[in-house]
Amino acid sequence: MDLLLLVLLFLAPAHSWLSLEDWGSGSVEGSVGEFGQCVCNVFLPDTSFPADRVEHMQTTSSQLSVEIKLQINKISSLKVQLEVLLGSLSNLTARVESLESGPDKYIKLEFELLRIELREFEALVTQLKASLNSSSPAFESLYIEIRNMSLIVDQLESYDRSNLEVIRIEFAKLQRKLEKCQDDKDDFSNAEIGSCKHGGILRIGKPIVSQLNANLNSGYKYGGWGKDSKPLPGSENMYWYSGSSDTLVSRITQYSDYYNLIMRQGFKTHELYVQNRYDWRGTGNNYVVRENTLYYQFRNPFAMGKLNMTSVTIAYKVIPMASAQFSYHYSANQNLDFAADESGLWVTYATAQSNGKLVLGKINEQSFEVEEVWQTSVFKQSVTNAFMICGVLYVTRSVDTQTEEIFYTYDTNKNEESHVSIPFEKFQDFYMYLDYNPTDQRLYMFNNGYYVYYNVKFKVA
Ligand SMILES: *[C@@H]1O[C@H](CO)[C@@H](O)[C@H](O)[C@H]1NC(C)=O
Ligand SMILES: *[C@@H]1O[C@H](CO)[C@@H](O)[C@H](O)[C@H]1NC(C)=O
Ligand SMILES: *[C@@H]1O[C@H](CO)[C@@H](O)[C@H](O)[C@H]1NC(C)=O
Ligand SMILES: *[C@@H]1O[C@H](CO)[C@@H](O)[C@H](O)[C@H]1NC(C)=O
């Protein structure tokens, strides 16, 4: 089930050639861009799967389809409709062919889009192959076809490398438009950036899946991504990513903007471990980046860690009462969870004195000390994650494989706790990272290796 959703969501964002009508009653957030393409994200609830299209494609891609069907039937829990992928692939082939046969005004941009799509296909097929545990010839030929096409696109593109910068700028423009029309469509950001003149979260939008992590590795389930919550001047568009196949935090990569994040072209990777020199590694994957500084759970000793990525210097500070015994529900070693909001920097943890109930601490950024604490009444181990908005702690738990819920809030402005129910949809069952970013009022999630974000709608104060 998740994989079906995955395929569709994954295909959706970068695919300019899907016409809106194709997606039936799915929720489409988009418009026609200046190049005549639909440049927006498509979100498909699983109830609106375009069965008629799939049926049509099934009959046309007969032999391959039959073979793939066999594989799919083997694993009934995965409702993977590879036909959609194959249909898309043949469409892609047609586009590559048309690119080869003659110049076109927008050919440069097309190359970049094609390359991104091809990479996504490649990652997807690799993942599907692994999920289906299959060495089917259908998959092999699919894979070869994709590789082949990547080569063709590369060849074509090398004829005119000088225009890459133009492509980059155009793509960034498209991306901004995409984000804008999405916001417009959803009417989500209903509070001014930085303002706390609202009544807290009303609801959370659909998960928007950007792509698989920069390692293109679905085994990299542990990690996080996002933007700087208080960017230095000139770094407003920067993104960061850290990921691993275990709970250790060993490196962080910075990207100058969203385009470079998607293209996996980081400008800087900070290694937190260099053998025989230093070991600054962290654990738990509940960090934030603020003023170009990574705040994270330092591993040894167990402490708050602070990696200044400008000066590349490290500092750590033990929180006297914090316990390393209580983790969040989904993963081990998530003992310190950092958060940043409109009012500053925060850390949550549990203490033995409170029998594992969550404690919220406000960090003084100058002294790097926890200067004030609030005791909540929720047990950390039942919690899946937590984040802060405007001095209010929001605590989540799992409802089922598709649904997550904010079930508890603690307002530090009023010293008031509340039990609430704000459900939201997950992309896939488990996630390791969830944090709010006050600079764009979005929630960033690292969900089973995927970059996912949510828009937030606030209550009118
Ligand atoms: C392929 O993409 C074009 C737009 O470029 C669209 O008109 C056409 O319907 C698509 N074909 C399939 C089979 O999806
Ligand atoms: C799946 O993979 C495992 C490990 O690689 C292998 O032992 C097993 O035979 C495979 N099962 C099928 C049905 O191919
Ligand atoms: C891959 O490309 C080569 C040369 O461009 C071609 O001869 C071959 O048939 C292609 N293979 C597939 C599977 O498309
Ligand atoms: C990081 O280091 C730079 C250069 O030394 C310094 O100016 C800045 O204040 C530091 N940032 C933090 C958050 O400590």
Cβ–Cβ under 8 Å, residues 188 and 456 = yes
Residue minimizing CA distance to atom 14 of ligand 3: 145
Q: Which residues contact 284 (CB under 8 A, 6 or more apart)?
A: 247, 249, 296, 297, 327, 331, 333, 334, 335, 336, 337
For the CA of 309, the nearest atom of ligand 4: 1
- Is residue 50 within 6 Å of ligand 1 at its C-beta? no
End-to-end distance of the chain based on CA atoms, in angstroms?
39
pLDDT at 79 over 60: no
Give the pLDDT of residue 38. 41
Task: Please tell me the number of the ligand nearest to residue 148's CA.
Answer: 3
pLDDT at 66 over 60: no
% of the chain beyond a pLDDT of 90: 50
Over range 241-250, report the average pLDDT: 96
Give the pLDDT of residue 198. 93
Over range 419-429, report the average pLDDT: 93
Residue minimizing CA distance to atom 12 of ligand 1: 91
Give the pLDDT of residue 140. 62
pLDDT at 24 over 90: no
Give the pLDDT of residue 114. 66
Instruction: Determine if the pTM surpasses 0.85.
Output: no
Token couple for 371 = 């200067």
The greatest distance separating any two alpha carbons of the chain, rounded to the nearest whole angstrom, comes to: 72
Kindly report, residue by residue over 215-226, the tens digit of the pLDDT: 888 899 999 999
Give the pLDDT of residue 262. 80
- Name the nearest CA neighbour of 327 among 427, 451, 432: 432
Give the pLDDT of residue 212. 82
- Whole-number mean pLDDT of the chain? 76
- Is residue 91 within 6 Å of ligand 1 at its C-beta? yes
Least confident among 52-66, 247-261, 341-355? 52-66
Cβ–Cβ under 8 Å, residues 271 and 125 = no
43: β partners: 27
% of the chain beyond a pLDDT of 70: 59
Cα(155) to ligand 1 centroid in Å equals 24
- Is residue 366 within 6 Å of ligand 4 at its C-beta? no
